[in-house]
């Protein structure tokens, strides 16, 4: 369970607690004050979550047409009550508020991606309305899925800008919703790291799918990064996470510290922080997916994405890395041939990261 910093289960935050803890200790008083303020706002978020637990059907509802249906609300700097004031509904013209319009556009991209590529009708497979609230809290450095909806902070403007800015982050958070309605991996230890892993996988895949082709060199460099569009870049930081090279998203950064993600089981984090490393050890399966995608030719959302999507549906609440490896290898075989190139690539990837 993420402690102290706004990510207590079942809130699924994009910025892990260890980053915010570093920011709360910063010498920069502005960064420190915002981080400390985030802690108080997070307590309010948890209270809201408890209120939602009594009325879950309020927000988890099928859309009128049981197809793509988006609602975007404005929290106007408050943290409760969610969802806030309705600013844009499905089919409405642009609101003129960048965060509102990004949340609307990107949640639509995520819906279209899941529907078009994997035949999934929204998060629950049944046309669930995609509810987003923007301008959550003051300079709030996070975005989260609370079990019913998305919420996005505006960021402190020093380390993070607004959290609606990265399509991969929107895809990440909404995928926590898909996980919740499918394998529902518990948010701790290896099942929790897999929960984070699937969110990162489909976050980058929806981003890659939307990138304009042909890809420039800059685009290629960003393909496997999470949150690069919303981080205020500096020589010491480029993203929140890297799937191509976990552990390199930020290095000796004065506010963030150094990216602790391993990319091999030999560096597995065995401590209790971050819900026993859900945002840390996810680097291992993340890197396996990256290697599998590299080993299978074509777009990553095509064969590798389909294998991982079906694997996500096949896992259970307590599945661990080994279960995920075996299920994805079996899935690659059943989809693209036992002993075929795709299955070989998936197997090799899990071996390279030391899971099998
Ligand atoms: Zn997450």
* 200 and 342, same domain (yes or no): yes
- State the chain's mean pLDDT as an integer: 90
Q: What CATH number does the domain containing 290 carry? A: 1.10.390.10
By mean pLDDT, which of 50-59, 186-195, 214-223 is the weakest? 50-59
Distance 340 CA to ligand 1 centre (A): 32
Q: Does 93 score more than 90 pLDDT?
A: yes
Domain assignment present for 174: yes
- Same structural domain, 165 and 216: no
Among 181, 210, 225, give the residue marking a domain's end: 181
**Domain end marker among 124, 151, 181:** 181
Beta carbons within 10 angstroms of residue 235's beta carbon: 8
Write the CB contacts of 101 (distance below 8 Å, at least 6 apart in sequence). 88, 94, 95
Return d(Cα 298, Cα 291) in angstroms, integer: 13
Q: What share of the chain is helix, strand, coil (3-state, %, to 5)?
A: 45, 10, 45
337 CA from centroid of ligand 1 (Å): 32
Give the total number of structural domains in the chain. Answer: 2
Q: How far apart are CA 165 and CA 169, in angstroms?
A: 8
User: Are 201 and 333 within one domain?
Assistant: yes
Does 312 lie in the same domain as 204?
A: yes
Residue 123: the pLDDT is: 96
Asked if the structure places residue 16 within a domain, the reply is: no
| Shared-domain flag, residues 214 and 286 | yes
Whether 295 and 173 share a structural domain: no
Confidence of residue 24 (pLDDT cuts 50, 70, 90): confident
* Least confident stretch, 9-13, 191-195, 230-234, 319-323: 9-13
Domain of 160: which CATH number? 3.10.170.10
Q: Which of 181, 201, 225 is the last residue of a domain?
A: 181
Predicted confidence band of residue 65 (pLDDT cuts 50, 70, 90): low
Q: Which residues surround ligand 1, an ion (CB under 5 A)?
A: 12, 196, 199
pTM confidence score: 0.91
Q: Please state whether beta strands 130-134 and 70-74 pair in parallel, antiparallel, or not at all (unpaired).
A: parallel
187 alpha carbon – ligand 1 mean position (Å): 10
Residue 10 counted as domain residue: no
Could you tell me the residue range of the domain that residue 159 belongs to?
Answer: 55-181
Instruction: Say yes or no: 63 and 102 in one domain.
Output: yes
CA 230 to chain centre: 13
Active site residues: 173, 279
Shared domain check, 272 and 129 = no
Q: Are residues 299 and 346 in the same domain?
A: yes
What pLDDT is recorded for position 44? 54
């Amino acid at each position: 369970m993420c402690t102290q910093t706004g990510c207590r289960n079942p809130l699924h935050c994009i910025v892990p607690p260890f980053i915010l803890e570093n920011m709360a200790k910063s010498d920069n008083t502005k960064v420190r004050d915002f981080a400390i303020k985030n802690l108080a706002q997070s307590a309010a978020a948890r209270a809201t979550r408890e209120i939602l637990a009594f009325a879950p059907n309020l927000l988890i509802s099928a859309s009128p047409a049981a197809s793509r249906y988006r609602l975007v609300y404005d929290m106007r700097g408050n943290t409760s009550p969610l969802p806030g004031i309705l600013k844009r509904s499905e089919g409405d013209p642009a609101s003129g508020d960048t965060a509102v319009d990004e949340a609307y556009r990107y949640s639509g991209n995520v819906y279209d991606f899941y529907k078009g590529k994997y035949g999934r009708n929204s998060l629950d497979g049944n046309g669930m309305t995609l509810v987003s609230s923007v301008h959550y809290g003051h300079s709030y450095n996070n975005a989260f899925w609370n079990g019913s909806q998305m919420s996005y902070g505006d960021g402190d403007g020093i380390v993070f800008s607004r959290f609606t800015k990265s399509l991969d982050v929107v895809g990440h958070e909404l995928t926590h919703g898909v996980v919740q309605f499918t394998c529902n991996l518990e948010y701790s230890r290896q099942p929790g790291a897999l929960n984070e892993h699937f969110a990162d996988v489909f976050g980058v895949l929806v981003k890659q799918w939307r990138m304009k082709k042909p890809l420039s060199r800059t685009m290629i460099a960003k393909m496997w990064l999470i949150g690069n569009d919303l981080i205020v870049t500096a020589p010491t930081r480029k993203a929140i996470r890297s799937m191509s090279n976990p552990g390199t998203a930020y290095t000796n950064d004065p506010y963030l510290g150094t990216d602790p993600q391993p990319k091999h089981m030999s560096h597995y984090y065995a401590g209790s922080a971050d819900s026993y490393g859900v945002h840390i050890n996810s680097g291992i399966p993340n890197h396996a997916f990256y290697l599998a995608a590299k080993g299978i030719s074509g777009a990553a959302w095509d064969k590798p994405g389909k294998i991982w999507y079906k694997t996500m549906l096949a896992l259970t609440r307590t599945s661990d890395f080994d279960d995920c490896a075996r299920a994805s290898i079996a899935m690659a075989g059943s989809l693209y041939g036992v002993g075929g190139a795709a299955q070989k690539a998936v197997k090799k990837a899990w071996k390279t990261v030391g899971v099998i």
